[in-house]
Amino acid sequence: MKKILVSQCLYGGCAVRYDGKEKACVHPTFLRWKEEGRLVPVCPEVFGGLSVPRPPAERVGDKVINAEGNDVTDAYIRGAREAVRLAKEHDVAFAIMKEGSPSCGSKRVYDGTFTGNKVSGRGLAVEMLEEAGIKVISEEEIK
Protein backbone atom coordinates (compact mmCIF):
# COMPACT_ATOMS: atom_id res chain seq x y z
CA MET A 1 0.00 0.00 0.00
CA LYS A 2 1.46 3.35 -1.03
CA LYS A 3 2.25 5.92 1.65
CA ILE A 4 0.92 9.48 1.80
CA LEU A 5 2.94 12.47 3.05
CA VAL A 6 0.93 14.67 5.46
CA SER A 7 1.48 17.84 7.46
CA GLN A 8 2.30 16.87 11.04
CA CYS A 9 -0.29 19.32 12.42
CA LEU A 10 -3.00 17.47 10.48
CA TYR A 11 -1.71 14.11 11.71
CA GLY A 12 -1.97 15.39 15.30
CA GLY A 13 -0.54 14.15 18.55
CA CYS A 14 2.38 16.55 18.72
CA ALA A 15 2.59 20.33 18.96
CA VAL A 16 4.33 21.75 15.89
CA ARG A 17 2.33 24.81 14.86
CA TYR A 18 3.63 28.32 15.49
CA ASP A 19 0.96 28.79 18.19
CA GLY A 20 1.37 25.29 19.64
CA LYS A 21 -2.31 24.52 18.94
CA GLU A 22 -3.75 21.32 17.45
CA LYS A 23 -5.26 21.22 13.95
CA ALA A 24 -5.68 17.47 13.66
CA CYS A 25 -7.69 16.32 10.66
CA VAL A 26 -10.73 14.22 11.57
CA HIS A 27 -11.95 13.39 8.07
CA PRO A 28 -12.95 9.68 8.16
CA THR A 29 -10.81 8.82 5.14
CA PHE A 30 -7.78 10.53 6.67
CA LEU A 31 -8.38 8.66 9.96
CA ARG A 32 -8.65 5.34 8.09
CA TRP A 33 -5.37 5.97 6.27
CA LYS A 34 -3.80 6.89 9.60
CA GLU A 35 -5.06 3.65 11.16
CA GLU A 36 -3.66 1.70 8.22
CA GLY A 37 -0.23 3.21 8.86
CA ARG A 38 -0.12 4.86 5.45
CA LEU A 39 0.62 8.42 6.62
CA VAL A 40 4.11 9.91 6.82
CA PRO A 41 3.89 13.07 8.98
CA VAL A 42 6.29 15.94 8.33
CA CYS A 43 6.59 19.48 9.71
CA PRO A 44 8.89 21.47 7.43
CA GLU A 45 9.15 24.36 9.89
CA VAL A 46 10.25 22.17 12.79
CA PHE A 47 12.58 20.25 10.43
CA GLY A 48 14.07 23.63 9.57
CA GLY A 49 15.01 24.19 13.20
CA LEU A 50 12.22 26.56 14.24
CA SER A 51 10.86 26.34 17.77
CA VAL A 52 7.32 25.78 19.07
CA PRO A 53 5.83 28.25 19.71
CA ARG A 54 7.41 30.70 17.25
CA PRO A 55 6.37 34.03 15.74
CA PRO A 56 3.95 33.63 12.81
CA ALA A 57 5.54 34.04 9.40
CA GLU A 58 4.21 34.85 5.95
CA ARG A 59 5.45 34.62 2.39
CA VAL A 60 6.74 37.85 0.91
CA GLY A 61 7.67 37.07 -2.68
CA ASP A 62 10.35 34.38 -2.65
CA LYS A 63 11.11 35.01 1.01
CA VAL A 64 9.43 34.10 4.30
CA ILE A 65 9.43 36.86 6.92
CA ASN A 66 8.20 36.47 10.49
CA ALA A 67 6.07 38.92 12.46
CA GLU A 68 9.21 40.34 14.10
CA GLY A 69 10.56 41.27 10.68
CA ASN A 70 13.21 38.54 10.57
CA ASP A 71 13.96 36.71 7.32
CA VAL A 72 13.42 33.00 8.10
CA THR A 73 13.62 31.81 4.49
CA ASP A 74 16.72 29.64 5.06
CA ALA A 75 15.00 27.64 7.82
CA TYR A 76 11.94 27.16 5.60
CA ILE A 77 14.07 25.95 2.69
CA ARG A 78 16.02 23.56 4.94
CA GLY A 79 12.78 22.07 6.28
CA ALA A 80 11.19 21.85 2.85
CA ARG A 81 14.21 19.91 1.54
CA GLU A 82 13.81 17.39 4.36
CA ALA A 83 10.10 17.00 3.56
CA VAL A 84 10.98 16.31 -0.09
CA ARG A 85 13.68 13.84 0.97
CA LEU A 86 11.18 11.91 3.12
CA ALA A 87 8.54 11.98 0.38
CA LYS A 88 11.04 10.35 -1.97
CA GLU A 89 12.35 7.89 0.63
CA HIS A 90 8.81 6.66 1.28
CA ASP A 91 7.86 6.84 -2.41
CA VAL A 92 4.59 8.55 -1.47
CA ALA A 93 1.58 8.48 -3.77
CA PHE A 94 0.78 12.13 -2.99
CA ALA A 95 0.78 14.65 -0.13
CA ILE A 96 -1.96 16.23 2.02
CA MET A 97 -0.70 19.55 3.37
CA LYS A 98 -2.28 22.17 5.64
CA GLU A 99 -3.91 24.93 3.63
CA GLY A 100 -2.83 28.54 4.20
CA SER A 101 0.58 27.85 5.75
CA PRO A 102 3.71 29.60 4.41
CA SER A 103 5.21 26.08 4.19
CA CYS A 104 2.28 23.77 3.54
CA GLY A 105 -0.38 25.88 1.77
CA SER A 106 -1.19 24.56 -1.69
CA LYS A 107 -3.78 27.06 -2.95
CA ARG A 108 -3.74 30.01 -0.56
CA VAL A 109 -1.25 31.77 1.70
CA TYR A 110 -1.37 34.90 3.84
CA ASP A 111 -0.39 37.96 1.85
CA GLY A 112 2.66 39.06 3.84
CA THR A 113 0.97 41.98 5.60
CA PHE A 114 0.02 40.09 8.80
CA THR A 115 -3.53 41.42 8.48
CA GLY A 116 -5.21 38.02 8.02
CA ASN A 117 -5.67 38.53 4.28
CA LYS A 118 -5.11 35.47 2.06
CA VAL A 119 -4.10 35.38 -1.59
CA SER A 120 -3.56 32.63 -4.17
CA GLY A 121 -0.18 31.04 -3.65
CA ARG A 122 1.78 28.12 -2.32
CA GLY A 123 3.95 27.51 0.70
CA LEU A 124 7.65 26.90 0.20
CA ALA A 125 7.52 23.18 1.02
CA VAL A 126 4.61 22.65 -1.35
CA GLU A 127 6.49 24.48 -4.10
CA MET A 128 9.46 22.18 -3.64
CA LEU A 129 7.32 19.02 -3.38
CA GLU A 130 5.52 19.89 -6.61
CA GLU A 131 8.81 20.72 -8.31
CA ALA A 132 9.93 17.21 -7.30
CA GLY A 133 6.85 15.79 -9.07
CA ILE A 134 4.74 15.07 -5.98
CA LYS A 135 1.04 15.88 -6.22
CA VAL A 136 -0.18 17.96 -3.29
CA ILE A 137 -3.74 18.45 -2.04
CA SER A 138 -4.99 20.20 1.08
CA GLU A 139 -7.09 18.80 3.91
CA GLU A 140 -10.05 20.61 2.31
CA GLU A 141 -9.82 18.38 -0.76
CA ILE A 142 -9.68 14.92 0.83
CA LYS A 143 -13.21 13.96 -0.21
DSSP H helical segments within the chain, as ranges?
Answer: 8-11, 28-35, 44-47, 73-89, 124-131
Pick the closest to residue 43 from 77, 79, 84 (CA basis). 79
Cα separation, 17 vs 9, whole angstroms? 7
- What amino acid is encoded at 41 in this protein? P
> 73 or 101: whose CB is closer to ligand SF4?
101
> 120 or 129: whose CB is closer to ligand SF4?
129
Q: How far is the CB of 117 from ligand SF4 (least distance, A)?
A: 18
Q: How far is the CB of 7 from ligand SF4 (least distance, A)?
A: 4
Q: How far is the CB of 64 from ligand SF4 (least distance, A)?
A: 11
> 37 or 99: whose CB is closer to ligand SF4?
99
Q: Find the radius of gyration of the CA atoms of the chain.
A: 14
Cα separation, 116 vs 57, whole angstroms? 12
State the residues that interact with ligand SF4 by CB under 6 A: 7-9, 16-17, 43-45, 98, 101, 103-104
Q: How far is the CB of 125 from ligand SF4 (least distance, A)?
A: 7
> 51 or 113: whose CB is closer to ligand SF4?
51
Q: How far is the CB of 109 from ligand SF4 (least distance, A)?
A: 11
The secondary structure element, H or E, covering residue 33 is helix 28-35
Note whether 85 and 132 are within 8 A (CB): no
> 9 or 136: whose CB is closer to ligand SF4?
9
